A and B are shown apart, each in its own frame.
Chain A
Amino acid sequence: MPMYTGGQVLDLETAVKDGILGGGGGGGVICDDVTTPNLGKLDLKKMIEQLDSIEVPSVFICPISLEPMQDPVTLCTGQTYERSNILKWLSLGHFTCPTTMQELWDDSLTPNSTLNHLIHTWFSQKYLAMKKRSQDVQGRSLELLEVLKTVKGQTRVNTLKELRKMVTTHESARKTVAENGGVSFVSSLLGPFTSHSVGSEAIAILVNLQLNSDSITNLLQPTKISLMVDVLNEGSLETKIDCVKLMGILFAASDIVPSLSLLVGVLRLVKDKRHPHGILAGLRLLKIISTQESLGNSIISIGGVPQLVEMLPHFNSESLELCLYVLKVLSSIPHGALALKNCSNLIPNLVKLLMKTSENCTKFALSILLEVCKLSPEESAATAVNAGLAAKLLLVIQSGCNPELKQLSSELLKLCSQNCRASIFISKCKLTRTLQ
């Protein structure tokens, strides 16, 4: 159908192809028989769904729902809407045109076949282009996987890099790789003699793929884990984050004991104030492995406790909650509580955090405080009260929060009051008779 745009006669194909209607995200790829009946059979609804992230030309959008129109109808005012939407509008008793606000002199709805045709064509083209691209991606990833089986050295590294890029951007690539033994093959590249470049790329690929329990067991072999720890310790920030993510997946499914080198590496990540993403990723891993019994002693032996405590004021809220969780777990073992108590800035840091962020943070902080104070009641209580704990505790008790928190607070309050001279205590929290 010829269209007139600025004096130029365009046919439908050209109009859609050159993006005259606007709308990006398409390819220059055009199927030859765009207007054949076959494509009409492609369910428009399905295509729209699959192309949901694409930028749709504004003229295709229904002004009422802001969604692409599948059955456009025009009112007497000349405005076009999706049939079901305008019918609903009219059934609600309105007798106006929603966009122009004009009163309707005619209630007929004329199907806008021109627009319908255009919409179908446009979506079909975009859909076919997407399908082809996806096939390209699938084909290419399969190709890369085959190539990987034969090459070595720098070529291997480059191939892995390209595969990694595909896997991180395309769902279809991920599927293809997973379905063609990609997981076990890439895992087999990890070993005691794997170079850093190969290791970091392989890990970056694996972290994007679905791992079944066999793959996980395979990856949990000590030599492979050792390699991951090495890559973690030597890699760039992105590589470090990939490593901890992968290890998180692996360790969640097993009760492997994390090595000291691993913990040192994770701690280093967590302490790096320049990169909050790294901190968060590291803390997530710490939380996952905090269920491990021996973790506590390991972290303490590498001096991790004071380092974590020192970082408390620098964490954002999500990281803070994770860190406090880990510290809470540590506080429940005797060595842990001791190590915590020995951190001079633990109590002031914790008191400051109470009621500042989430309820969980306050809950964990209170648990830690309780354990530490139980260990050395007089000393810790004094420090705590000096840091303004009592007032905070009252705040918790009086607030409308979880009964668990209130329980913790009153326990702590009791402990403090038993170990502090009453006068100091009262003056520190400006109490009134409500205490009694």
Chain B
Amino acid sequence: MLDTVVQNMGLLCCRQKRGNQATTEENDKAAEIERRIEQETKAEKHIRKLLLLGAGESGKSTIFKQIKLLFQTGFDERELQSYTSVIHANVYQTIKILHDGAKELALSEAGSSKYELSVDNKEIGDKLSEIGGRLDYPRLTEELVQDILKLWRDPAIQETYARGNELQVPDCADYFMENLQRLSEENYIPTKEDVLHARVRTTGVVEIQFSPVGENKKSGEVYRLYDVGGQRNERRKWIHLFDGVTAVIFCAAISEYDQTLFEDENKNRIMETKELFEWVLKQKCFEKTSFMLFLNKFDIFEKKVAKVPLNVCEWFKDYQPVSTGKQEVEHAYEFVKKKFEELYYQNVTCDHQDRVFKIYRTTALDQKLVKKTFKLVDETLRRRNLFEAGLL
């Protein structure tokens, strides 16, 4: 028995020795992993989380694309090409909406022939409407382009387009129709401008990480920007992103005061934005979060204000125009801005009063403007950071 014991002891000792070696290796590895985790957690802490929120089609994704263009490597050729199908789809969707819309309007205004397509175009219209309703769109050929242009130039369609706010005509309609020839070329590669105009309903969440490079090229700031879908059914996914947010960039398209929702044709878009903004403001997790309100689509707003009075929107019903032209545009803008400001302070308690709240006038399609705006946002956030660290 002693033999066995001795033998086993020997074995035991050996195993111990090998065991020790193994544990040291394991320990090293574990320590390395610990260190890595610590480093990354530390790095994470320095990453500022920015959240793009807003109703559908408010311009969030366009801002997202702009940031990508400005502070990352932009879009490479492959990515640009990937937008071709989207752009073509936009064209088909647009012309279908207009054609079907013309039919609807013709029905509702039985007396007039304003929305009656000319005989030649009726057949084209039906064909295009059918194509637009498919799941897969055909390539834009020269023939199709001619058809689309014929239809687009039909007075009935133009009349329908003038009432585009009652339908769900996307904002890029004009732009794509004007560039149709170019879009259909053999070796068409979308330009940056084309990509910015392209309309895809975002679903789910997209994120990019970037560092705004300052003048002196040294900036320790790292931002992570999240883009979300704005339609109602997408909003339940938002809540998962609400933790540890440095700033919310809330996009509100001020040009849509005469439009209704894609997902609910009885709801005015501005009213929806108003309620959404209120909801976001009340979220407990945003107590210390800075709020940057982007009053977007100013370029469309500018043109619309002269033709459509602000008071068609319930929220703006107490608006009184005072002059005309550029002055009036400014006056209207200040009115809208004041409304949002009042809304903000109505939903703010004393504890929130320290929160940063700034309003910016934006046109998301304008790269220079977005760059300037973001510079300001960056400056504000950096100052806020210093202030919170007690250094200001």
Q: B-contacting residues of A (Cβ < 8 Å)?
A: 153-154, 192-193, 195-196, 222, 226, 230, 233-234, 236, 259-261, 264, 268, 301-303, 307
Contacts and interface: CB of A to CB of B under 8 A. Distances in A.
A310 to B, nearest CB: 11
Contact of B350 (A222, A226, A301, A303): A303
Interface stretch (B45-53, B117-125, B353-361): B353-361
B216 A193 contact: no
Interface string B312-352: 00000000000000000010001000100110111000100
A226 B387 CA distance: 21
A227 to B, nearest CB: 10
Given A260-B345, A261-B341, A268 B353 contact: yes
A23 to B, nearest CB: 42
Nearest to B387: A234
A196 B379 contact: yes
A270 to B, nearest CB: 13
A302 B215 contact: no
Contacts of B354: 268
A260 B359 CA distance: 12
B209 interface: no
A222 B384 CA distance: 24
A236 B387 CA distance: 10
A195 B379 contact: yes
Interface residues of B, number: 29
Contact of B215 (A154, A264, A268): A154
Given A154-B216, A268-B353, A192 B361 contact: yes
Q: Which 6 A-B pairs have the closest CB atoms?
A: A193-B372, A260-B345, A222-B334, A260-B341, A302-B345, A153-B215
A260 B346 CA distance: 10
Contacts of B375: 193, 195
Interface of B: 215-216, 330, 334, 338, 341-342, 344-346, 350, 353-354, 356-361, 372-373, 375-376, 379-380, 383-384, 387, 392
A236 B357 CA distance: 17
Contacts of B392: 236
A261 B359 CA distance: 10
A234 B383 CA distance: 8
B111 to A, nearest CB: 46
Given A301-B345, A301-B346, A264 B361 contact: no
Contacts of B379: 195-196
Contacts of A196: 379-380, 383
A236 B358 CA distance: 18
Contacts of A303: 350, 353
Nearest to B369: A193
26 contacts: A154-B215, A192-B360, A192-B361, A193-B372, A193-B375, A195-B375, A195-B376, A195-B379, A196-B380, A222-B334, A233-B356, A234-B356, A234-B380, A234-B384, A234-B387, A259-B338, A259-B341, A260-B342, A261-B357, A264-B345, A264-B353, A268-B353, A301-B345, A301-B346, A303-B353, A307-B350
Nearest to B348: A302
B250 to A, nearest CB: 16
A268 B384 CA distance: 16
Contacts of B387: 234
A193 B373 CA distance: 7
A230 B353 contact: no
Contacts of A259: 338, 341
Contact of A230 (B215, B334, B358): B358
A131 B235 CA distance: 70
A196 B392 CA distance: 13
B358 to A, nearest CB: 6
Nearest to B344: A260
Contacts of B360: 192
A307 B358 CA distance: 23
A264 B353 CA distance: 8
Contacts of B341: 259-261
B79 to A, nearest CB: 30
Contacts of A222: 330, 334
A74 B380 CA distance: 70
A220 B270 CA distance: 29
Given A222-B334, A259-B341, A193 B346 contact: no
A339 to B, nearest CB: 14
Contacts of B372: 193
